[in-house]
């Protein structure tokens, strides 16, 4: 049991919001309690977190049929931000693994339940 976090880093993202995002991910009550209500967070169920960097989440599909990626942060700036995020997340919760930044990865997911959540950051 766990969370798969697909992390897209956009041009407006910064180090200032990384801890807030880490705290939100660890505190999200998305797992069922004994009554079948979503009241438990990842720590309560003893689950793991897998974070996969995914620049395609920044895709702009507002024009035409080919996605544009102008809102994605450039890899040279996004890689250190990804590493900072991972360091903070692993400090917040020990059961965290990560994908490789910039790699072509195959991730297999069994989505047990109808929940997929998008978290957006807003810089201070």
Parallel/antiparallel/unpaired status of strands 38-40 and 31-32: antiparallel
Q: What is the pLDDT of residue 122?
A: 74
Contact of 55 with 78, CB cutoff 8 Å: yes
Beta strand extents in 27-105 (DSSP E only): 31-32, 38-40, 48-53, 96-98
At 79-96, the pLDDT tens digits run: 999 999 999 999 999 999
Question: Does residue 119 belong to any structural domain of this protein?
Answer: no
The pLDDT-based confidence of 124 (bands split at 50, 70, 90) is low
Question: Does residue 68 belong to any structural domain of this protein?
Answer: yes
Contact of 5 with 49, CB cutoff 8 Å: yes
Question: Does residue 107 belong to any structural domain of this protein?
Answer: no
Question: Does residue 105 belong to any structural domain of this protein?
Answer: no
- Domain residue limits at 40: 2-98
**CATH code, domain with 87:** 3.50.80.10
Does the pLDDT value for residue 11 go beyond 60?
Answer: yes
Question: Does residue 106 belong to any structural domain of this protein?
Answer: no
CB atoms within 10 A of CB 53: 25
At 19-42, the pLDDT tens digits run: 999 999 999 999 999 999 999 999
Question: Does residue 92 belong to any structural domain of this protein?
Answer: yes
Give the total number of structural domains in the chain.
Answer: 1
pTM for the full predicted model:
0.89
């Amino acid at each position: 049991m766990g969370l798969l976090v697909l992390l897209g880093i956009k041009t407006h993202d910064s180090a200032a919001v990384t801890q807030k995002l880490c705290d939100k991910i660890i505190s999200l009550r998305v797992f069922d309690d004994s009554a079948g209500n979503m009241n438990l967070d990842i720590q309560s169920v003893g689950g793991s977190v897998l974070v996969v960097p995914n620049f395609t989440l920044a895709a702009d599909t507002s024009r035409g049929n080919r996605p544009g990626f102008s809102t994605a942060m450039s890899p040279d700036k996004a890689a250190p931000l990804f590493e900072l995020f991972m360091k903070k997340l692993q400090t917040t919760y020990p059961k965290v693994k990560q994908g490789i930044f910039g790699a072509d990865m195959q991730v297999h997911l069994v989505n047990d339940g109808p929940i997929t959540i998008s978290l957006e950051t807003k810089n201070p």
